[in-house]
Amino acid sequence: MSDKSEQLKIRQPRPRGNAVTARDVARAAGVSLATVSRVLNGNPKVAPALREQVRRTAGLLGYTPHAAARALATQRSMAIGAIVPTLEDANFAIGIAALQRKVTSAGYTLLLASSNYDREEELRQVRALCSQGIAGLMLVGARHEQEVYDILSAKDIPFVNTWVIDTDRPCVGFDNREIGRVLAEYLLDLGHTEFGIIAQRTGESDRAAGRIAGIHQALKSRGAALPQEKLIERSHKIIDGQLALRELMSTAKRPTAVLCGTDMLAFGALIEARRLGLSVPEELSVAGINDTELAAHFSPALTTIRLSAEEIGERAAEFLLARANGEPGLRTTVVPFELIVRESTAPAPGAKPRPVKRGRRRT
């Protein structure tokens, strides 16, 4: 071999990271390229000792297979995607954690994105995730750009809408209309007739829209009405609950009960009630939705609707994994909810309420 050839050989850098190929792994492990491919693609027919040898060698070399390329070569992706409206919401975090546990145990990797309640941003994230070769996708709500559905259909990627019941597409969720109705009827049973609602923006959240519709349904069935100025739509943070309650309590006829679309909004309402010198629940009842961890420890403890975000994540994972394996999966899964009665609600001042016990009512 010439001196020039020797110099070229010496100067060749050792491949690192994504520069390492499956062929490099095969050579270092002393196995065929086909064996490496079978191991990295999860083929169960490879002997355990050989599988461990290949994986250990790949780890030492820093080999990371390109997900999209692997999906193209094997016609099977080992990634599941999920897009949530925000990463600030504890309930979404709990649901995503449950989803990840399930898909990871099945050998898949979770790819997560946030749309920030922006449909155009969600569409961009759908395009990006699909380019990675995902085997399935979890979405939140049923309102999405038509192009989202078109892309998923064209690429034959299974998806599931969550936190909502969708009569047209696969879903795992709650009956949001029923949630609003149950919460409103509970307060009506306590003798309340003057209501206020603090909700998330219905243009951003079909879950909020469904709950408001349920509240209106319950009020109408009892001959009560909700003036437009008593419905305030804001974002989902504590400060939004504070500002909304301040606005509600400045109206000529103050509400004696305020229904909040989330616990965070309810916490804000409770903080503002204290600032205004209002006694809760003697002068004002406040209820939320979600039953976050803080709800039971707030002062007063918050009456709320318990929504199992963990079950949402688990059931969504089960559906997507079934579809990824060519199985049909349950098209519609309705997750139950519970009314949790605590200290923040009481009979309306001077009212003769129907008997209501503190505790749980499962629906």
**What is the average pLDDT across 226-247?**
95
Spacing of C-alpha 241 from chain mean position? 21
**What is the average pLDDT across 162-191?**
97
Domains 75-174+310-335 and 176-307+338-362 share a fold: yes
More confident residue, 15 or 86: 86
Whether pLDDT at 180 is above 80: yes
**Letter for the amino acid at 91?**
N
What architecture (CATH level 2) is domain 75-174+310-335?
3-Layer(aba) Sandwich (3.40)
**What is the average pLDDT across 22-46?**
84
Can you give the residue ranges of every domain in the chain?
3-65, 75-174+310-335, 176-307+338-362
Half-sphere exposure of 215 (CA within 13 A, CB side): 30
Query: Could you give the percent of the chain with pLDDT greater than 90?
Result: 72
What is the band of 350 on the pLDDT scale with cuts at 50, 70, 90?
confident
Give the pLDDT score at 246. Answer: 97
Give the pLDDT score at 12. Answer: 37
Closest CA to 134 of 331, 306, 324: 324
More confident residue, 145 or 45: 145
Give the pLDDT score at 76. Answer: 62
Query: Looking at domain 3-65, does it have CATH number 3.50.50.60?
Result: no
**What is the average pLDDT across 44-64?**
83
Edge to edge, what strands does the sheet with 332-334 contain? 109-114, 79-84, 136-140, 159-162, 171-173, 332-334
More confident residue, 331 or 362: 331
Whether pLDDT at 289 is above 70: yes
What residues form DSSP beta bridges with 79? 109
Cβ neighbors of 270 (< 8 A, separation 6 or more) are 280, 286, 298, 300, 302, 344
Give the pLDDT score at 23. Answer: 87
Q: Residues 110-150: pLDDT tens digits? A: 999 999 999 999 999 999 999 888 999 999 999 999 999 99
Give the pLDDT score at 128. Answer: 94
Give the pLDDT score at 77. Answer: 79
Question: 176-307+338-362, what's its fold?
Answer: Rossmann fold (3.40.50)
User: What is the pTM for the complete model shown?
Assistant: 0.79
Whether pLDDT at 361 is above 70: no
Check if the beta carbon of residue 137 is closer than 8 Å to that of residue 126: yes
